[in-house]
Amino acid sequence: MNLADVFTVLLILVGVLTHFIAVWLVTRGLWPERVERAAEVLGQRPLACLLSGLLTLGPGVAAGIAVGRLIPGPAGRLLSAVVILAVILVSLGGAAGLALRIGRGLPSARDAAEPWRPVLRGGIVLSLVQLTVVLLPVTLVLGAGAWWRSRPGVTPRRAA
């Protein structure tokens, strides 16, 4: 492995993690109430979010793989990739609540004027933690569960 290979891997990782932060900020900008609810649900019932995420993320990815196997050729592979990427984007949307939760734990005086700052701060910390690679799937599963549990019409139970 030469230096060019090292930089290729490094820049791909930096690009992916920067993309995650951008998705979290876009989610916060488009659906601020939903992200607030996701952060609340993650704070109250993290284990329930983990289990809900497993129950939603697993079948979503399985459906994407099944579509790729059932429809032959490039159309099947494309549709499979679209389904799996949609599932991952929903998971990242829910993970915006986790980034918000982490960012609120690191308060700043500028948060009142710029409500997106906690998501940015928490997203940077969460992205650095995801470099361990073990926590990336956990973040996606938690995000899927938080997004599912924060949908409109569902009132989260209060912690006893």
What is the tens place of the pLDDT at every residue in 72-106? 899 999 999 999 999 999 999 999 999 999 999 99
How much is the average pLDDT of 13-20?
A: 92
Please count the helices (runs of H) and the strands (runs of E) in the chain: 6, 0
Per-residue model confidence (pLDDT) at position 155 = 62
Q: Write out the two tokens for 9.
A: 């891997």
- The answer to whether the CB of 143 falls within 8 A of the CB of 93 is yes
**How many Å apart are CA 39 and CA 146, to the nearest integer?**
8
Residue-wise pLDDT tens digits, 101-139: 999 999 998 888 998 999 999 999 999 998 887 899 999
Domain coordinates in residue numbering, the chain: 48-147
State pTM to two decimals. 0.86
